[in-house]
Chains A and B, each alone.
Chain A
Amino acid sequence: MKKAFELFWSFFKIGAFTLGGGYAMLSMVEKAVVDQKKWIPNDEFWDMIAVVQSLPGVFAVNTALYVGHRVAGVKGAFAAMLGAIVPSITIILLLATVFHEFRDNPVVERVFKGIRPCVVALILAPSLRMIKSAKVTWKTAIIPIATVFLIWWCKISPAYVILTAIAGSIIYALIIRRRETARLRDCETTSGPEVPKSRSPEVPQNKEAKP
């Protein structure tokens, strides 16, 4: 029980003081969980974060659930999750009650007229940064373009687009895995036992296989 409370408190502090979303939070979690409390060894922590990152849902919540469960079981998972979300729920509830009265205030309205176009740019910028980091080529650019077209122009629910993209990505990952096992088998038959078992970086990228 003491551990569950400690988990709650650690994630409460992180939830209450990190601005800038899930990834900004990550270094704070590492500091608390790995460095200070020594609940989880460093390499295991980053291995798990890689898995947690690929799950859908709120990244902060997923991380809290994993750390909590790893440290103190189901009880710990719930304690850490509550710690992560209670600060933002409280803050938004307080703001929402006040904001309703403030919205019609002419000063607030003027300020928000300036903020709204800024927010649009703040959403567009990370999407383009993501395209850069995903190494989208002229050939694969069809994927983001089609996504935008379907959602924004055809008003198709993003849910269907995501499901289609997941199906395509799984096929893509399956093809990579099959190529890799085939390559390893080839190596074994030609050059004997001293073949590196780990993944090598020069795996051929199959661009046509993407959704």
Chain B
Amino acid sequence: MNTTKSTDARTNSHRRTLKRQQTNQIATVVITGVAGLVVLPIILVILYIFINGIGAISWEFLTAKPRNGMTEGGIMPALLGTLLLTFGTGIVCIPLAIGAAIYLAEYAGDNRLTRWVRLAIVNLAGIPSIVYGLFGLGMFVLFLNFGTSIVAGSLTLGIMTLPVVISTAEEAILAVPQEFRVVSQSLGATRWQTIRHQVLPHAIPGIITGVILGLSRAAGETAPILFTVAAFYLPDLPQSVFDQTMALPYHLYVIATQVPGMPLEIQYGTALVLLLLVLSLTLIATVIRTNMRRRRDW
């Protein structure tokens, strides 16, 4: 009687152990599977666009103007326009964002200005991109009278990009060890000398990463440029920053929805170029970050 009971107990405990192990295995499989699922869409999207679009890519496609109602020729004006806009976005966004990040990380006390700056950044990050577009239309195109132009588009994209770049730059600056600042100032360096010589050089890789990620987002946006700069069809290149230009994301939207009889291959080809542009920016950011991290000696 007694033996049976203890055997029962042992079998029960054995069974429970088995069950725990099974649950553990199932959990591992499920969690790994879910994580894998995250990678799947990005691979599918890239593959799908690559397979359908690669046929359209040629030297002519990249360097020729669109012809015959955009159904033939290339995408050169749109590609160049997007590069110009990305560059302009950088000019607007980089000084402002780095200045703000240095202020927040190095100078900001707990005062009203700091609270306003932080509130502004959080809110800027939450504004839908179409609202930026309308703001750019009202503020830069109409009120400041820049017209539908590269200037107006760059300013709009630049403001939209600010929050991302400010936050990554601030994090990069805060990641520089506090001792460097204390030691530097104990050696008679001023606050600015300390920032210039001991903080920024070590924060630069992180800041560059943030800038590139911000710019790659700006390069792919449609809504902010819709009313501020993008031209429906303008094969001639812009002559000044106050001219309109074509841009890849908007061009893609146009040829995909607004032009009847558009060959599918050109649509996919355009999408592929835009995708590669944005992905290569992200790749550059990653390479810079890994390289700099390996080189630092602290």
> Is the A/B pair a real complex?
no
